[in-house]
Structure 1
Amino acid sequence: MSNRTLIAGNSLVSFAPGLEARDQEDIANSIALAELCADKRFNRFRQIKDWYEAFLDKLIDVGWEMDHELLDAEIPEKKVFFDLEEAVLHHLQGIKQASLRKVLKESIEALRLDSVAQNIFETRNREGTFAYYQFVPCETRHELGSYIYLTAMQVTTRLDVENILFEGRTIRKTDALDVGIGWSAFYLDRKDYDRFRDDVLSQLEDLRADFFRLLRH
């Protein structure tokens, strides 16, 4: 069982060693609340740009601060892939920290080995041949506090496969994936989040039981 990877709503969240349980909970709850608030305002599949901006705005509202240096990261341009894992790993080039690359790769492998969680993740993020995924590796940084790197992927496949993420091998060369990518990074000092914690928790009281799912393998 992996105790460092979970599905939080529509996001695959993974924690590097060293993040305390309280910080992991704060991260997962922040992401969950941001998703729910964005869902109330916009359709994630048809208004993705507006949804993503609303999601980021809510993270900032509850104390997260954007890492503006990341916006200068250079990622080689590539828009067509033959499986989604290839696309995820390609855009890892935007992450300079080996620890974040490692934990994200491990979370994808954990999802691959957990068929039930994989089905939940795919179902929540698919609408026909269109999908929207978020991958969020997290770590602790003593000078910044908790740190998250968010990869947002808008995916269209030209073939209606059952599972875009892990059945890419069934896609013919003429049925590639078109991938749109966005990335952001945020940090949060626990003491800065303390004043928001109770409010975040109160807004999450009515979450369905399976909104968070710890991955097993």
Structure 2
Amino acid sequence: MEKIIMSDTQQQIDSLSGGSSSVVMGSNVLSFLSGVSRQDQQFIKDSMRLAEYRADNLFNRKLEPARWFEFYSGVLWSVGWGLEHAPVIIADNDFSGAVLDVWAKSMSTLLSREKIKQMKETFQLLEYDVAGVEVFTDSTRKWGDFRFAPAQYNVHKELELVISNVRLINNEWVSTYLFWNITHGSAQLDIQSRRFVTKRREMDKYRDLLAAAVREFRVKEIELSLKS
């Protein structure tokens, strides 16, 4: 697995990260909120890699995004992640505006305002990293989708992960910040978000199995913050 760690503006990044760490992994943006161990960060990344790989083997994510994400969620369940409630779904076939604003509003039942704010700061970290932007946009334009995933321990000491699967189809890709703000022309926007929770014993049960399953996968990864 190729891994690139790069930060050209570390002082600005550190001031934003507040002790959290952020990673771009293909078309995934992950935010590990303060306290998530490196070992558990790796468990999350391995889980998402496997889920993406297996879902791609069965469904075309461009043509069947809902079925793709449902199967993706099922793969996470199969490696110890509990599915918390039904997914929150947003669908707009004539979208223009700020993708992140729509996403933030849809997260009101899944994330606190503070966690949404921290996730938005992760996108600022991405903006500072040229290599990260390149990896993320190349993958997103290839597949037409991307995922946001903040992770944290909850009050029960379980590992909690909220994954938003975002599908954005826009022929012109005109934007003011990466491609979050569609400034003219209509786009198709679909967001499916779901909370996943796992316990320590489940992670310990599946950790080695996951590591072996994804060992040969080559996914370019950019770490946006060196703080843990």
TM-score by length of 2: 0.79
**Could you tell me which residue of structure 1 aligns to residue 101 of structure 2?**
86
Is 2:226 aligned against 1:213?
A: no
CA distance in 1, matches of 2:213, 2:182: 41
Aligned-pair CA distance for 1:168: 5.3
Describe the shift of the 1:35–1:78 C-alpha distance in structure 2 as closer, same or farther (beyond 3 A).
closer
Describe the shift of the 1:87–1:113 C-alpha distance in structure 2 as closer, same or farther (beyond 3 A).
farther
Letter in 2 for 1:122: T
Describe the shift of the 1:27–1:205 C-alpha distance in structure 2 as closer, same or farther (beyond 3 A).
same
CA distance in 2, matches of 1:41, 1:72: 20
**Could you tell me which residue of structure 2 aligns to residue 132 of structure 1?**
145
Aligned-pair CA distance for 1:102: 2.5
In the alignment, structure 1 segments of 5+ residues that lack a partner are none
Aligned-pair CA distance for 1:193: 1.7
Q: Which secondary structure state, in structure 2, belongs to the residue aligned with residue 124 of structure 1?
A: helix
CA distance in 2, matches of 1:209, 1:96: 28
Letter in 1 for 2:222: R
CA contact (8 A) 1:11 1:133 kept: yes
Q: Percent identity?
A: 20
CA distance in 2, matches of 1:139, 1:54: 23
CA contact (8 A) 2:153 2:160 kept: yes
Letter in 2 for 1:178: Q
**Could you tell me which residue of structure 1 aligns to residue 201 of structure 2?**
191
Identify the match of residue 100 of structure 1 among 102, 105, 115.
115
Q: Which has the higher strand share?
A: 2
Q: Which secondary structure state, in structure 2, belongs to the residue aligned with residue 101 of structure 1?
A: helix
Aligned-pair CA distance for 1:144: 5.0
Aligned-pair CA distance for 1:42: 2.0
Letter in 2 for 1:140: Y
The aligned runs of 1:163-174 (5 Å cut-off) are 166-167=178-179, 171-172=183-184
TM-score by length of 1: 0.82
The aligned runs of 1:137-152 (5 Å cut-off) are 137-152=150-165
Aligned-pair CA distance for 1:9: 3.5
Of structures 1 and 2, the one scoring higher in RCO (CA 8 A, sep 6+) is 2
Describe the shift of the 1:55–1:140 C-alpha distance in structure 2 as closer, same or farther (beyond 3 A).
same
Aligned length: 207
In the alignment, structure 2 segments of 5+ residues that lack a partner are 1-9, 14-19
Identify the match of residue 79 of structure 2 among 16, 37, 62.
62
